[in-house]
Amino acid sequence: MAVTQCEIRDLNGCRFIHQLHDSVNLRKAEYLFYCEQAAIIKVTYVTDSSIHTHSMTGTQFKWGTRTFLMGIVNVSPDSFAGDGIHSPAIALEMASHMVKAGADIIDVGGESTRPGSIPVSLHEEMTRVIPVVQGLCRHVDVPVSVDTYKYEIALKALQAGARIINDIWGLKKDPRLADLAGYYGAGMVLMSNQRDVSPNHDVEFTDIMQVVIDDLRRATSEAVTRGVPADQIIVDPGIGFGKTQPQNLLLLRRLRELRVLGYPVLIGSSRKSVLGHVLQLPASERFEATAATVALAIERGADMVRVHDVKEMARVCKVTDAIVRG
């Protein structure tokens, strides 16, 4: 059995030595750990190369072994999906059910991102989001993600215990989010959002997949430059964000091409308008369409799906994984 010595340094530069016992093939990797006082410490050591393991502030995601689920908790009353809630107690109850049903992450958002929605004030978003994040971090045993592009919201959420920043603008609105993630050892979901150049979702990009790939390269490079370890980053092509409906469908069709980036891929197609475009049905009747996109996305390389209906989509993932991953 191989014994590997690694060096750990905390934020103050204090040095520790840790012995790793490993009997498998080894490669060099970097992880983030937390000590008992929750100070961030960084360690370089060698580990199994057969599985790509993403360590998100203490929770490990072994990409390729199965599809992971991010459960959506909207505390915005005007959510496009009609699932917005007002009470932290109800949010906690909903999230608890999601975790029992198989959610690996709970994503909390306090501002509707539907096309044409009006941004809420910083104070209003803070009032909606932070009490819910605080409650969830105390009572659920999966990482909590905050869905925001605002520095102040992300900071308060991380201080309250959130472990992931889900930035729908991919650092376009405020690159300092990456500084926060780097300092707190938080994971980042970086989305490709074209609403800055296509606010009405009507720009006919020559090659939308290349546009998305280039945008995510920019975002991930910015994040890494600002101190976010590459293995703390997940990318999202941004279904429904600045694309025409045919372009949204094309992104799903060509999803495999995102693998060129080398990052885990998250897909958020749950109840989205592209499904209503195909079926001519409201958000409340897009359940089966969501299931279709989840199954297809897994077959085409998605590592995580962001969904409203966790119990049912967990079953879709399990069956699709059995077929696709074996």
Cα–Cα separations (whole angstroms), residue 289 to 82, 220, 254: 17, 30, 18
Q: From CA 298, how far away is CA 269, in angstroms rounded?
A: 12
Q: Which helix (H) or strand (E) holds 314?
A: helix 310-324
- Provide the 3-class DSSP secondary structure of residue 240: coil
DSSP H or E stretch at residue 22:
strand 15-22
- Residue 300 is encoded by which pair of tokens? 């085409």
Question: Would residue 272 show up in a list of annotated catalytic residues for this protein?
Answer: yes
Q: 147 near 108, Cβ under 8 Å?
A: yes
* Marked catalytic residue, from 156, 172, 243, 272: 272
Structure-derived torsion over alpha carbons of residues 7, 10, 16, 17, reported in degrees to the nearest 10: -30
With beta carbons less than 8 A apart as the criterion, state whether 46 and 27 touch: yes
Query: What is d(CA 300, CA 290) in angstroms, rounded to the nearest whole number?
Result: 15
The one catalytic residue among 128, 156, 195, 306: 306
Catalytic residue ranges: 272, 306
